[in-house]
Amino acid sequence: MAAQGGRGLVPLLAFLGVMAYSLSMAVVTPALPQIQDGLGTTPAGAAWALTAMTLSAAVATPVVGRLGDLYGPRHVLLAVLVIATAGMVVAALAWSVPVMLAGRVLGGIGGGVFPLAYTIIRDVIPPARTASAVGLMSSMLGLGGAVSWCLAGPIIDLLGWRWLLWVPVAGLVPGVVLAWWLVPRSAPRDAAKVDWWGAVLFAAWLVAALTALTEGMDWGWTSPGVLGLLALSAVTACAWWRVECRVPEPLIDPRLMRVRGVWTANAASLLSGYALMAGGLLFPLLVQLPGDTGYGFGGTATQAALLQLPASVGMTAAGMAAGLLDRRIGSRMVLFGGALATGLGYAFVAFQHAAMWQLYVGGLARGIGLGFAYAAVANLVVAAVPAGETGVATGVNTLIRTVGASLGTQISAVVIVAVPGESGYTAGFAVSAAVMAVVLPLALLAPRRRRGTGRVTVPDAGEHRAVEAH
């Protein structure tokens, strides 16, 4: 066990680990054109530098979360940080696209820091402060994106794109040392077993589905490749569900996913992920459209990045404040307010996007709202599950958010292609507003915390059981 003073630094380590991973994920986005030129590949080949890490993280996150629940977060966190660091070094040194993709796949395993960080926080922070810590953790998502966009321009211009890929390594290497020094040991569960068949089948259907979503625009939604992947995903998903319902210790317990505090938070995460990445596509494209279109701004990539900065800062600040609001009004109302702010921001720019200040206003409302929403769904999940299931439950929640983000990118791209001209952007923003409107009833369906007890009542497999609310 770490000393008491060291234990106080454990949450800081968790925050830095999540921040370093967020940088790893976001850092290639502004450098995609340079990666394409540097490795002599196509735009689609360069885009796979982002897609490969997304797919790897989607599979690794719930699996790593489960391993953390079984064997304790310390050993698993150390392994995840070492593998992610090695992957980022390989990517930074890559001389070809396959080597780059291999490094990014290894780096994607770092997505497991999210459920491990939530587990660590629940273990070492008093219950009264857990909501604030989880909110701050969620805010690291926005901060990582903001930092990557701020650093991208100067580093690429002065040093070259490869140096940009070394930035996350600078955070991951100290993270390994601090994790070894600070994170307390915990005893593994008796007779703990890993559902490896469930993990393999889970990876198969998820990778097939996400690959179909990612490549649908390029291959065609009715192409044999996309339809074949969707069919493979459906078959392996059915097999996976059958296995999970039968094994004594499933990778992802289907009964846990039916808990009201969990499924409402997961549905809200899916839709919030959509809203995040829909804006990540629509806002920069609109800013960089030529001015002679009559509705574009003819801006540079730097101007598009600066537009994202206030939203990222707002998201970070909202995540930090969400924990304090949780004590006063509960996470369900924080989620409601966040969804409302995000939806209003999108509705505003759907009708008012003729000037840059309007995009800034709508984008800021979107960022603040998503900061509240992301923190709230994490707190709802942590409060609704037993401590021994925190890692896998938050891992699944993070995975579902990733799926939503993929849908946000793909559907928004389809909308602006299918609806020509300015109306495509209006429709894209309006769809995002409608998506967040669906989160409002989900927030009200989330379980209410009992006054004065610090507990919530949630249904589990047809019964009600009380679990600690943190």
Query: From the CB of residue 364, how many other CB atoms can be counted at a distance below 10 Å?
Result: 20
Q: Note down the domain range covering 314.
A: 253-470
CA 80, CA 312: separation in Å to the nearest integer?
26
Same domain, 176 and 201: no
* Cα dihedral across residues 418, 422, 427, 432: positive or negative: positive
Give the end of a domain, one of 205, 232, 250.
250
Tokens 């925050």 -> residue: 15
- pLDDT-derived band of residue 463, with 50, 70 and 90 as boundaries? very low
For residue 97, what pLDDT is reported?
83
Asked if 380 contacts 446 with a C-beta cutoff of 8 angstroms, the reply is yes
Same domain, 345 and 219: no
Give the end of a domain, one of 140, 174, 189.
189
Same domain, 174 and 291: no
Joined tokens for residue 267: 């549905």
Same domain, 30 and 133: yes
Backbone angles phi, psi at 418, to 5 degrees: -75, -35
Query: From the CB of residue 217, how many other CB atoms can be counted at a distance below 10 Å?
Result: 15
Same domain, 99 and 130: yes
Same domain, 317 and 403: yes
Joined tokens for residue 368: 């603040």
Give the end of a domain, one of 189, 205, 239.
189
For residue 56, what pLDDT is reported?
83
- pLDDT-derived band of residue 453, with 50, 70 and 90 as boundaries? very low
Tokens 């391993």 -> residue: 67
- pLDDT-derived band of residue 3, with 50, 70 and 90 as boundaries? very low
Same domain, 336 and 269: yes
pTM of the entire predicted model:
0.77
* Cα dihedral across residues 165, 171, 174, 180: positive or negative: negative
Which CATH number belongs to the domain containing residue 423 in this structure? Answer: 1.20.1250.20
For residue 357, what pLDDT is reported?
92
Measure the CA dihedral 127/128/133/138, to 10°.
90
Same domain, 309 and 344: yes
Model confidence pLDDT, tens digit, residues 179-193: 777 666 666 555 556
State the total domains in the chain. 3
Q: Please, which residues have CB within 8 angstroms of residue 50's CB and are 6 or more apart in sequence?
A: 25, 28, 29, 32, 104
Model confidence pLDDT, tens digit, residues 148-207: 666 666 777 677 778 878 877 877 777 777 777 766 666 655 555 677 888 888 888 888
Same domain, 389 and 463: yes
Model confidence pLDDT, tens digit, residues 32-84: 677 777 787 776 677 777 778 877 887 787 788 778 777 777 778 888 888 88
For residue 239, what pLDDT is reported?
92
Say yes or no to pLDDT of 303 above 80. Answer: no
Same domain, 185 and 207: no
For residue 38, what pLDDT is reported?
79
The beta-strand segments (E) located in 105-205 are: none
The rounded mean pLDDT for the chain is 78
Same domain, 306 and 442: yes
Reported as type and span, the H/E element at residue 371 is helix 356-384
For residue 16, what pLDDT is reported?
60
Joined tokens for residue 260: 């009201």
CA 427, CA 416: separation in Å to the nearest integer?
8
For residue 451, what pLDDT is reported?
44
Same domain, 243 and 370: no
